Amino acid sequence: MDDLPIKYKCPACKQAVLNRRVGHCLYCSANLPLEFLFSNEKIARLDEEQRKRDELRKWTNPGQTVERSDAVGRFIEGAEVIGDIGELF
């Protein structure tokens, strides 16, 4: 089984470009050619599609919480614990 063809590689370190929203290589921080990068319009469209998917998941799986809110929930729990410890002193 072949991996997906990697179209975009860092010109400096030849690693695959993982995030085309970021203007530099995540491995070596070299600047990437502008043609590698998503345009602002493309980024806005991707964000919009992601938002719609999140929305859809909420409606189709009302009992199932989205991972992101779980992470936020854990963070808040952690923050409360830290708050309790703070009150001890």
Site string for Zn ion, 9-28 (x = CB under 5 A): -x-xx-----------x-xx
Does the protein bind Zn ion through residue 30 (CB under 5 A)? yes
Go through 1-33 and write b for each residue having 16 or more CB atoms within 10 A of its CB, e for each that does not. eeeeeeeeebeeeeeebeeeeeeebeeeeeebe
Q: Segment 57-86, which members bind Zn ion (CB under 5 A)? A: none
Q: Is 13 or 18 the residue whose CB approaches Zn ion more closely?
A: 13
Report the residue number, 13 or 72, with the smaller CB distance to Zn ion: 13
Please give the Cα distance from 44 to 38 (Å, whole number): 10
- Three-state SS at 22: coil
Nearer to Zn ion, 30 or 66 (CB): 30
What is the contact surface with Zn ion in residues (CB under 5 A)?
A: 10, 12-13, 25, 27-28, 30
